[in-house]
A and B are shown apart, each in its own frame.
Chain A
């Protein structure tokens, strides 16, 4: 069975400091993993996806995520937070049956 755990429901960082949003997954096989961002009153936008071609995945807006099989993690990072990064972030795993499982989300606050 597949599942996703986002370890922090809220993360607060100062503008210009690094961002780390944690995600752990459970999967019986090599998973397909994604990060989505949702700005207030907006839809969900794909940030990046893990394709198994490379363990370090680069996404939009300077975000990256590293797939670590030994730790079953897919944490999202950004070297320097910007005010516009304040949003809700969702880690998602897809199974071979084309079902997508969402984490409960992490709300990122950026302090000026």
Chain B
């Protein structure tokens, strides 16, 4: 069964550094998402992406964040200048267009640790 893949599984970075989290969604999906989950807390929506543009973003997704789909297969989340509070598990997800009932398919996540 096709799956969403995320790399790396764990990223450690220093405060103020830029990080890029990478995702390869399921190939025939058209809707792409990033979520994050701070340790022990709920899953928080960051951004959704469709037709090569952001369709919705949350308050968390400020100017330090950006997303890109550079080559038709990868979907990346960039954090320009990381802060300690960016430490979290980041999940990429994709969804098909075939029906309103198409679920989210998640990757296994990237654990980002900002020191």
Contacts and interface: CB of A to CB of B under 8 A. Distances in A.
A28 interface: no
Question: Interface residues of A: mostly helix, strand, loop or mixed?
Answer: strand
B100 A94 contact: yes
Contacts of B45: 99-102
Contacts of A43: 91, 106-109
B103 interface: yes
A98 B109 CA distance: 21
A96 B100 contact: yes
Interface residues of A, number: 24
Contacts, number: 54
Contact of A100 (B33, B55, B108, B109): B33
A42 B56 contact: no
A90 interface: yes
B61 interface: no
A54 B42 CA distance: 29
A97 interface: yes
A50 B101 contact: yes
Interface in B5-29: none
A90 B109 CA distance: 16
A49 interface: yes
Contacts of B103: 34, 46, 49, 94
Contact of B91 (A44, A49, A94): A44
Interface in A76-108: 90, 92, 94, 96-102, 104-105
A32 interface: yes
Interface in B26-73: 31, 33, 35, 42-43, 45, 48, 50, 55-56
Interface of A: 32, 34, 36, 42-46, 49-52, 90, 92, 94, 96-102, 104-105
Given A32-B100, A34-B103, A44-B106, 9 more contacts: A44-B91, A45-B106, A46-B105, A52-B101, A94-B103, A101-B45, A102-B35, A102-B42, A105-B42
